[in-house]
Structure 1
Amino acid sequence: MITCVVEYVIDARKIDAFERFASRWMELVERHGGTHHGYFLPAEGASDKALALFSFSSLAAYEEYRTHFGTDPDFVDADRIRDESGCVLRYERTFMRPLLPGGSR
């Protein structure tokens, strides 16, 4: 299993648009074979930080999901929310492997 951790710097004034963007991506990850663990939005502290975590069974499965970027109309529509609203200022992806309770991976 591989987990993608996406760290966002967002425009806190556009949190509603970010939530619409996030909701669409949760649906798309699930529809294309991944497990979305949710978006984590500002509550206290920095108001411009958000995180997303989602997993695929392997890096190859993630790469298959990525083939839809820029071509699948649902993926394009989800990105349009981000691009037109300006809710995301910057983001960075990191891939991690989970160590779960009981030593399971």
Structure 2
Amino acid sequence: MITCTITYEIDPDQVSAFEVYAKAWIHLVNTMGGTHHGYFLPHEGANDRAWAMFSFPSLAAYEDYRSQMTNDPACQRAYAHARETGCIRRYDRTFTRPVLSGASPEALGL
């Protein structure tokens, strides 16, 4: 499994518009074979940062999704919304692999 974490710099005056964008992408990622873990919007602290996390079974599955989204009308509408509202100033993607199960320190030889 591969997980993509996106760190956004958003316009603090456009948080509502960003939330619309976020809800669209949660739906789109889930319908295109991924598992969306949610968007995390500003509440306390910095008012211009937001995060999203979603996973795909493999990097190849993520690349298939990226290929599909370039021609998908719903994806293009979501991108257009972000451009038109200016809710996203910039973003960075990071790919990680999750560790989802734990073990006792004894079982780990600690």
Larger radius of gyration: 2
Report the AA paired with residue 32 of structure 1. M
**Other structure's SS at 1:68 match:** helix
Measure, in 1, the Cα distance between the counterparts of 2:27 and 2:87: 19
Q: Compute the TM-score of the two structures, normalised by the length of structure 2.
A: 0.90
Please name the residue that 2:19 is paired with.
19
What RMSD in Å do the two structures reach over aligned CA positions? 0.9
Measure, in 2, the Cα distance between the counterparts of 1:76 and 1:8: 19
CA contact (8 A) 1:68 1:75 kept: no
Gaps of 5+ in 2: 104-110
> How big is the shift at 1:102?
1.9
Q: Compute the TM-score of the two structures, normalised by the length of structure 1.
A: 0.94
Measure, in 1, the Cα distance between the counterparts of 2:94 and 2:86: 22
Please name the residue that 2:34 is paired with.
34
Residues 1:86 and 2:86 aligned together:
yes
Measure, in 1, the Cα distance between the counterparts of 2:11 and 2:2: 29
The residue correspondences of 1:1-105 to structure 2 (distance < 5 A) are: 1-102=1-102
Identity percentage of aligned residues: 54
